[in-house]
Amino acid sequence: MIIDFLFTKVFTIGSVFRAEDSNTHRHLTEFVGLDIEMAFKNHYHEVVDLIADMFVHVFKGLQREYQTEIQTICQQYHSEPFEFLQPTLRLQYRDAIRMLQDAGWEIGELDDLNTPAEKFLGKLIKEKYHTDFYILDKFPLDIRAFYTMPHPTEKGYSNSYDFFMRGEEIMSGAQRIHDPVLLSERATHHKVGKFSCTPNVVSECRFNYLLVDYHNSVIPYRNSCLFILANYA
């Protein structure tokens, strides 16, 4: 609402708490999130470009100011240095699916990416483009939230995107539907109730561990880790 009335770019950084029943290394019950909302003039890629530039600025700043600390962590946990391109690599979703299919991965053109597929795709992209940081653009419409804007010319796809580090999604975004009739139609199609609301953030903890590529108890606030603390600490 504030974007409509006064500011065209709004962000917030703060603690996020969620009761998510997901036992993975990247789904945390407590984390620091970055939420960004931005108006654009002509195309949603204006937002994508701004976010990509922001991440590159952060990467450069970390490498400049904390190179010694990053090298120490990478040596301790035997991880490869983080690589990124300028401009940031942006692939269309259908091209990413084609890369998987060409490599022998069984997946349909409009299927969603599960975690193993994401990781395998990350390896393929690293081998071909030599980058750990990239964007997938124009996701299939049916696997995105109901308020996601359909692509105007490519049926079945949407104006939505994900950012990835080392083959793992760190941030999702999309152009929101601003037409009330279309929004109502999409909500009905997805059988959404009148009072639904979904957060849209990038996890600071996920960002940090993927930057230096460590996977251990340094990040404690997972559902499984909380179970261990509650029962065995």
Q: Which residue has the higher pLDDT, 218 or 148?
A: 148
Which token pair is 156? 């079945």
Count Cβ atoms within 10 A of the Cβ of residue 110 and give its class: 0-12 exposed, 13-18 middle, 19 or more buried: middle
Mean pLDDT of all residues in 120-129: 98
The per-residue pLDDT for 148 is 95
Write the single-letter amino acid at 32: V
Give me the numbers of helices (H) and strands (E) for the chain, helices first please: 8, 7
Measured at the CA of 26, the angle between CA 50 and CA 215, to 5 degrees, comes to: 110
> Cα-flanking dihedrals φ and ψ of residue 46, to 5°?
-60, -40
Q: Which of 5, 58, 43, 80 is nearest to 171 (CA)?
A: 58
Q: Which of 163, 155, 156, 159 is nearest to 55 (CA)?
A: 163
The conformation of residue 222, written as its DSSP 8-state character, comes to B
Any idea which residue has 């990038």 for tokens? 202
pLDDT in tens, 51-96: 999 999 999 999 999 999 999 998 898 888 899 999 999 999 999 9
pLDDT in tens, 16-46: 887 766 677 777 888 888 899 898 889 999 9
Q: Which residue segments constitute the domains of the chain, with CATH numbers given?
A: 2-193+200-232 (3.30.930.10)
Res. 181: pLDDT tops 90: yes
Which token pair is 135? 């964007």
Which token pair is 116? 């193993």
Q: Assign residue 165 a region: left if phi > 0, alpha if psi is -120 to 50, beta otherwise?
A: beta
With a CB cutoff of 8 Å and minimum separation 6, the contacts of 137 are 48, 90, 91, 92, 93, 160, 161
Q: Quote the CA–CA distance of 121 and 161 in Å, as a whole number.
A: 15
pTM listed for this prediction = 0.81
Strands 133-137 and 89-92: parallel
Q: Predicted confidence band at 196 (pLDDT cuts at 50, 70, 90)?
A: low
